[in-house]
Amino acid sequence: MNLFGTIKSKRGEHMYYLMHTYDGLKTYDGYNTTLIDKSMKYFLNQLLIQEHVTLEGRLIALRKKYSLKNNVPIYVHETCCFYTTKHLRAFGTIAINYHAVLSMRERTDGSTEYRFKNLSALNVDVPYQTMVRKHIRTQTFLESHGFL
């Protein structure tokens, strides 16, 4: 089976989020959840190779070119830019595609609920203010460098 399974495009245009679980990597494209027996880092590398770069190379380049230190958005291409809830290798990490997010709201327990463009929802057990900062940082990055 192709690594990209039911993903509509190998470039990741329809990727809403990636979730690192103990069983593997869950990908959600807005309609289907697919479980892949690979790491998030491996999967992102495969997406970025379509753009002729590796994950490590992209992160190094973004850090140098835009003077970023940490929480660097993972820019794949014009419709796919991820930001993560935790470190890429940590179980439970979710990489959210900035372009797929319709809205965010704080839940009663302080965690974050994402609403995506297809009106599906995802609850993330990370404080709302933390995720808002990451979302705004990604938006600012994309706007200030002409990606939006």
Query: What is the Cα–Cα distance from 13 to 83, expressed in whole angstroms?
Result: 15
Total-model pTM: 0.87
Which DSSP category does 33 fall into? E
Kindly state the helix (H) or strand (E) to which residue 82 belongs, with its residue range.
strand 80-84
Which DSSP category does 102 fall into? E
pLDDT band at 120 (very low <50, low <70, confident <90, very high): very high
pLDDT band at 5 (very low <50, low <70, confident <90, very high): very low
Query: What is the Cα–Cα distance from 76 to 58, expressed in whole angstroms?
Result: 9
Enumerate helices (H) and strands (E) in the chain, giving the number of each. 3, 9
Q: What is the pLDDT of residue 6?
A: 36
Per-residue pLDDT tens over the stretch 63-86: 888 887 888 899 988 889 999 999
For residue 105, give both structure tokens.
Answer: 């709201």
Mean pLDDT (the chain) is 87
- Is residue 46 within 8 Å of residue 3, measured between CB atoms? yes
- Length, in residues, of the chain: 148
Q: What is the DSSP string of 58-108?
A: HHHHHHHHHT--SS--EEEETTEEEEESS-TTSTT-EEEEGGGEEEEEE-T
Q: What is the pLDDT of residue 7?
A: 40
